Amino acid sequence: MRKPFVAGNWKMNTDSLSSVSLAKAVADGVMELAGERLDVAVIPPFVYISAVVGTLSTTHIAVGAQDVYFERQGAFTGEISSSMLKDIGCAYVLCGHSERRHIIKEDDELINRKVSAAISGGLLPILCVGELIEQRKADETEQVVSNQLEKGLEGLSEEKLSAVTLAYEPVWAIGTGLTATPEQAQQVQSMMRELLSDMYDGQLADEIRILYGGSVKPDNAAVLMSQPDVDGLLVGGASLKSEDFIAIIKAAC
């Protein structure tokens, strides 16, 4: 059985006061559930990670980062390494989020290096994949997602793969209010699991958690989670409102 996992990606939102108050409100709302019934993580902007780690130190809510650089240290102005994130108490890191693929123009090779470096540095990467609306309309979803998955995981041993969580986030569903139907999410996510089974082995593929992300709200969380290959939710906008995020967490377990 895969333990459900709900993560809130705060993106470039909050400030020093609201990041701490949001984390505290989430902790108060799900204290008994987090770690027991499901895994919960919040993913603040880099600069608020330490404060949020401090706020959540007595809870079972994990903290993640939204990105990482693949080099360990050195002259890489502006970048943050996995060992730095680990050092300040991060457990997870997003790799290949669609906003980094499409706005910042990260490619699969760079994302693959980040996934690998994250694991080497002791972090648990959440590798995000997903198609654009044009690609879905052209019936290319399977091809695009498979390609992102194969390239994102290239060279990763079975042992390393077990540190990875996957997230299917169709780009057209992110921040648009257009959620994928539960059937659409299930179709892609079961295809992803089959591909993993071909790339590695069936048991490992069975153990990997695959999250769905894209306009997840309190009223669609349970039905998305009812799908056999939807093991959790990666929440953007709704994770910025504690009552919505708490409702989503409760619906997911």
Residues labelled catalytic: 97, 169
SS3 109: helix
Say whether residue 214 binds ligand 13P (CB under 6 A): yes
Q: Whose structure tokens read 């919040």? A: 42
Q: What is the secondary structure of 25-48 as a DSSP string?
A: HHHHHHTTTBTTTBEEEEE--GGG
Q: Which two tokens stand for residue 145?
A: 């997602």
Choosing from 205, 235, 249, 251, the residue that interacts with ligand 13P (CB under 6 A) is 235
> Minimum Å distance from CB 167 to ligand 13P?
7
70 in Cβ contact with 96 (< 8 Å)? no
Choosing from 174, 196, 247, 249, the residue that interacts with ligand 13P (CB under 6 A) is 174
How many residues of this chain bind ligand 13P (CB under 6 A)? 14
Q: Residue type for 227, please?
A: Q
Choosing from 216, 247, 248, 253, the residue that interacts with ligand 13P (CB under 6 A) is 216
Say whether residue 9 binds ligand 13P (CB under 6 A): yes
Say whether residue 170 binds ligand 13P (CB under 6 A): no
Q: Which two tokens stand for residue 248?
A: 């989503």
Choosing from 96, 121, 125, 213, the residue that interacts with ligand 13P (CB under 6 A) is 213
- Give the residue from 134, 160, 129, 159 showing the smallest Cα distance to 146: 129
Q: Which residues of the chain form contacts with ligand 13P (CB under 6 A)? A: 9, 97, 169, 174-175, 213-216, 234-238
